[in-house]
Structure 1
Amino acid sequence: MGKYCTTCKNALQSSEAFCTQCGTPSQFSRSEVIHQQKDYGRIKTFVWCSVLVLVFLALVAGLFYGVLAFWSNQVGKAQPRASHLPPTHKVEIDVNSPMFSQGYMHAPNTEGYEGFEIGETKSAIEREYGRAEGAKTIDGKKAELYGNIGVSYNSNNQVSHVFVVPGKMTKDDFTDFHNGPDEISNGNWYYDTDKANGFSIKVYTSKNDIEAIENIMQR
């Protein structure tokens, strides 16, 4: 069906929006109107689908960010960041001294020594004393070193052993000051003269040297 100008009745092409003769806006046929409405409906549907997709993606991104932030916060609480830790506290202990003999070799320290306590968490130790400066193996256990203190942790990251770790200390030098042990078992020395004082001194040795000393519950 042709299209005509409603004013001057001039024949119009279907694509013409204005009459070329008098300039009157052309009137669209019913089929053209329906076609335009369908096009508009399709465009509207596409726009709404696009909006819904964007909203969904925003919700997924927000949920992911929230989970990530929560996880990072929990990890931060469980393990302090290195940048927030104090400098490593290096404990200096003179093993062959009257102070050590009286305050450790002849006194109960089974719960820890020099502020390092049995049962404390690794994160608590590091918040107070910083990162360990190194590690060594004592009787098959990894001990993290803070100067002359060695700390071993159990599977729950709690302190299970607190050792005194001398520097270069030979067996002869040690026994010259503290005398020989009361007992030797599996290469370890035990100082336990008083059988009723509740503690024993366990000395871990290598071929010629003293590796570590531990104040333990009486055997």
Structure 2
Amino acid sequence: MKYCPNCGNKIENTQVFCNKCGKKLVNSDHKSEKDKYQNSQLQHKISRNGQIERGNSKLWAIIVSVIVVILLVVALMFAGYYFYKNVFLGNSSINIFQSDSETTQNNKQATINVLSSEFSENFMNADNTGGYEGFNIGMSKQEIKSKFGEPDNRISMDIGNIEKYHNIGIYYGIDDTVSSVYILPEAISVSDFKQFHGEPTVETDEKLVYDDNSDNGFTIFVNKENGEVQSIENTYQVDEDSLNSMDLKKIN
């Protein structure tokens, strides 16, 4: 049994108003049930938010793990490539950052076949007065060494000391820049050279001169030594009067 807080009249637990003074009564049991319901909803919401947060954390953990695995795979591939090129093949001097085109170009410079249609087309019948295969007139010593490394050898010719890069020779002028670029074939006889490329325009005991076209802008000089081709140069064109004045003896 309960009592009205206003007039002290006896009331039932379920009464909403006092039947004596009309005071509105607070039903504590109802309020308690309501509070329990609200608390239950609040706990459910908190629990649900916690599950969402835990789910997000797991998703981010998966994403991070995938990224780490990808980076590890890339690193292993890079290391494998480096090992293959520099250890397995024994090419410790290869720059792994060098592009394929540069590598191909440098490999081409290892051997130049002067008795080939490619050489005939690209050198004997083309203007290469500015250089050949990346060795260009005007390049400094540092530029040459940075691009091609140290020379294989040094030889002496009439013009002076020549730095040899495989089948290409470089002569530096007084300012240490490339003044002349030569092709230096190995064990090619003069007769074989003439048989492949034809008779020269002019020939002396020291050289062959190929210049049948007076308007193409270049002349080919082939230096001879002991019956073999010593060097080949593609240089600026010499006109007919100048050829005759050089005291070159034409072969009949």
Q: Could you tell me the TM-score, scaled by structure 1's length?
A: 0.58
Instruction: Please list every run of 5 or more consecutive structure 1 residues that lacks an aligned counterpart in the other structure.
Output: 1-84
Contact 1:138/1:204 (<8 A) preserved: no
Counterpart among 130, 139, 143 of residue 158 in structure 2: 139
Which gives a bigger RCO, structure 1 or 2 (Cα 8 Å, sep 6+)? Answer: 1
1:174 to 171, 185, 193: 193
Of 113, 117, 131, the match for 1:94 = 113
Cα offset, 1:186, TM superposition? 6.2
Aligned pair partner of 2:143 in 124, 127, 139: 124
> Could you tell me how far apart the structure 1 residues matched to 2:227 and 2:137 are?
29
Task: Count the aligned residue pairs.
Answer: 134
Which residues of 2 match residues 48-87 of structure 1 at below 5 A? none
1:194 is the counterpart of 2:213: yes
Task: Pick which of 123-132 and 167-176 moved more.
Answer: 167-176
1:119 partner amino acid: G
Q: Could you give the per-residue CA deviations for residues 133-174 of structure 1, whole angstroms, max 9, x where no partner exists?
A: 101122232110110000010111100010011011111111
Confirm or deny: 8 A CA contact 2:205 2:224 kept in the other structure.
Answer: no
1:148 aligns with 2:194: no
Q: Which residue of 2 aligns with 1:214?
A: 233
Aligned to 1:109: 128
Partner of 1:211, secondary structure, is: strand
1:113 partner letter: Y
SS in 2 for 1:156: coil
User: Could you tell me how far 1:207 is from its partner in structure 2?
Assistant: 2.5
Distance 1:167 1:96 in 2: 11
Aligned with 2:144: secondary structure?
A: helix
Write the distance in 1 (CA, Å) between the matches of 2:181 and 2:129: 9
Letter in structure 2 aligned against 1:210: V
Per-residue deviation, residues 92-139 of structure 1 (Å, max 9, x unmatched):
100000000011000100000000000000011000100001011222
Post-superposition Cα deviations, 1:58-116, rounded to whole Å, max 9, x if no partner, equal xxxxxxxxxxxxxxxxxxxxxxxxxxx979x5531000000000110001000000000
* Backbone CA RMSD of aligned residues: 1.7
* Residue identity matched to 1:101: S
The percentage of aligned residue pairs carrying the same residue is 34
**Structure 2 regions of 5+ residues with no counterpart?**
1-92, 96-105, 239-252
Return the TM-score normalized by structure 2: 0.51
Larger Rg: 2
Letter in 2 for 1:151: I
